Amino acid sequence: MQVSVIILAAGQGTRMNSDLPKVLHHVAAAPMLHHALATAHSLEPSRIVVVTGHEGQAVAASATAYSEAVDCVVQDPQLGTAHAVAQAAPLLADVEGEAVVLYADTPLIREETLRKMLEARSRHAVVILGFHAKDSGRYGRLLTKNSNLLAIREYDVATEAERAITLCNSGVVCAEASLLLSLAAEVKDNNPKKEFYLTDIVEIARARGLSAGVVLCDEAETLGVNTRAQLAEAEAAFQTRARAEMLENGVTLTAPETVFFALDTHIGRDAIIGPNVLFGPGVTVESGSEIKGFCHLEGCHISRGASVGPFARLRPGAELAEDVHVGNFVEIKNAILDEGVKVGHLTYIGDADIGEHTNIGAGTVTCNYDGVMKHRTRIGKRAFIGSDTMLVAPVTVGDGAMTGSGSVITEDVPAEAVAIGRARQVTKPGLATRMFEKLKAVKAAKAKGQ
Ligand code: UD1
Ligand code: CA
């Protein structure tokens, strides 16, 4: 089945009280717009059109950053949801099959729900996604008779009796693409707000002798974000759902309610995630690895059998091969750690390649930045970096080499060599006792003087 998706993202979002366009605010470390795009992509559509308006360039840039295959069209001025859909018409003139309308400020709609709507198209020409609202507020009300949808009544124009209806419009619409566009083109702005309401297409379709129907979903799924409070609610709802899905997929979460996932987090079966772990964008964790408590991860890959944390920070470009161990208070950025590397404690590894089974001692720092440029540190296989080594990049340490503890390594270390870059130790017998006596005498003299 051919499907096109139209994502409405032109609204200003005044109630967010923000300089950022509403649809670029984040839920689960991704702009809300990307949630709509991800849902759209799950339908494997032949075309996706994003209707932009307010801060259109920023919104379009975010859409194309998600996927080059997305088309954007500008709606200016913004005269309502039907007017927004109509802007997509030139881009959809030649398409066949179904069209689905999504809102970019409604990030929690699921693929299964849209599939149910597409299925319901065999019974109705226009299918609307509805829900039973706990508080119907200003949602459009669905006027139904048996299994037929008669009309959608916007709150502003609804009678008292209609306002009492709790079956509400989510905004998601499904119809044959050419029909949807011709219905949207017929909508008039004869309402107090002088807006072209997409919701009017139901009555227009019925006047043409076509039928309309409703598919129901949970209210949580249609949560629309208009305020920061609703943004926080959407975040919480996303996390609740993501945690349940992870558990279902065979990931152990010892304290699920304290773990936060991103829209694109991938975790393999039998991974174990401890408490208070935060996944930023772009993290993949393979099966059978363990992330201990209080880790902060973004843009990184953790392979099978690796263990990370507690209290580790993996930043973009951190790639951990199989059985790597990263311990507490370790930060890794833009670095490749080959199989079996151990970085146990208190270490910064940035812009580095580390060969298999190398051990990095506590307190090691790759000094990757000279104040102007970044440089790379290369360490071979089975090397041993002594505790508190400063590796001043660009620098290379060969296979099987060692550095002495406390060394500042500024020159390359050949394979199998030991490099020591620190002052030689001086030991003075008895000096400590004499110094203690002297200091105590100074202290006593001071006390007397007071
Ligand atoms: C809309 C529905 C209402 C439904 C509610 C669900 C209409 C007329 N009303 O109302 O029945 O219960 O959503 O949340 O459709 N947009 C544009 N261009 C415009 C106007 C809006 O792109 O000219 C976009 C907005 O960015 C937003 C979406 O369309 O993503 C919905 O617009 P909004 O103004 O929030 O509609 P509601 O009044 O909430
Ligand atoms: Ca809204």
**pLDDT per residue rounded down to tens, the chain (450 residues):** 899 999 999 988 889 999 999 999 999 999 999 999 999 999 999 999 999 998 999 999 999 999 999 999 999 999 999 999 999 999 999 999 999 999 999 999 999 999 999 999 999 999 999 999 999 999 999 999 999 999 999 999 999 999 999 999 999 999 999 999 999 999 999 999 999 999 999 999 999 999 999 999 999 999 999 999 999 999 999 999 999 999 999 999 999 999 999 999 999 999 999 999 999 999 999 999 999 999 999 999 999 999 999 999 999 999 999 999 999 999 999 999 999 999 999 999 999 999 999 999 999 999 999 999 999 999 999 999 999 999 999 999 999 999 999 999 999 999 999 999 999 999 999 999 999 999 999 999 999 987
Q: Are 419 and 403 in contact (CB under 8 A)?
A: yes
Provide the pairing of β-strand 384-385 with 402-403: parallel
CA-proximal residue: ligand 1, atom 1 (nearest):
171
With b for 16 or more beta-carbon neighbours within 10 A and e for fewer, the 173-201 pattern comes to bbbbbbbbbbbbebbeeeeeeebbbbbbb
Mark whether 345 is an active-site residue. Answer: yes
Distance from C-alpha of 398 to C-alpha of 156, rounded to nearest angstrom: 74
Distance 225 CA to ligand 2 centre (A): 7
| Token representation of residue 263 | 């829209």
Distance 216 CA to ligand 1 centre (A): 19
Q: Are 369 and 348 in contact (CB under 8 A)?
A: no
Distance from C-alpha of 54 to C-alpha of 74, rounded to nearest angstrom: 9
Distance 70 CA to ligand 2 centre (A): 23
- Whether the model pTM is above 0.85: yes
Q: Which of 132, 296, 345, 375 is catalytic?
A: 345
Ligand showing the shortest atom-to-Cα distance for residue 223: 1
Report residue 31 CA to chain centroid gap: 8
Which of 100, 103, 132 for mutating ligand 1's site (highest number of atoms within 8 Å of CB)? 103
Among candidate residues 62, 107, 103, 113, the one with its CA nearest the CA of residue 232:
107
Please identify, by atom number, the ligand 1 atom nearest to the C-alpha of residue 75.
18
Distance 142 CA to ligand 1 centre (A): 15
Residue 405 has a pLDDT of 98
Q: Which amino acid is at 190?
A: N
Among candidate residues 35, 56, 47, 54, the one with its CA nearest the CA of residue 6:
47
The full set of domains in the chain, from first to last, is 3-222 (3.90.550.10), 228-419 (2.160.10.10)
Distance from C-alpha of 369 to C-alpha of 350, rounded to nearest angstrom: 9
Residue 123 has a pLDDT of 97
CA-proximal residue: ligand 1, atom 34 (nearest):
11
Residue 13 has a pLDDT of 87
Ligand showing the shortest atom-to-Cα distance for residue 59: 1
Pocket residues for ligand 1 (CB within 6 Å)? 8-11, 51, 53, 75, 78-81, 83-84, 103-105, 139-140, 152, 154, 168-171, 197-199, 224
Please identify, by atom number, the ligand 1 atom nearest to the C-alpha of residue 168.
12
CA-proximal residue: ligand 1, atom 20 (nearest):
80
3-state secondary structure labels for all residues of 71-100 = EEEECCCCCCHHHHHHHCHHHHCCCCCEEE
Ligand showing the shortest atom-to-Cα distance for residue 10: 1
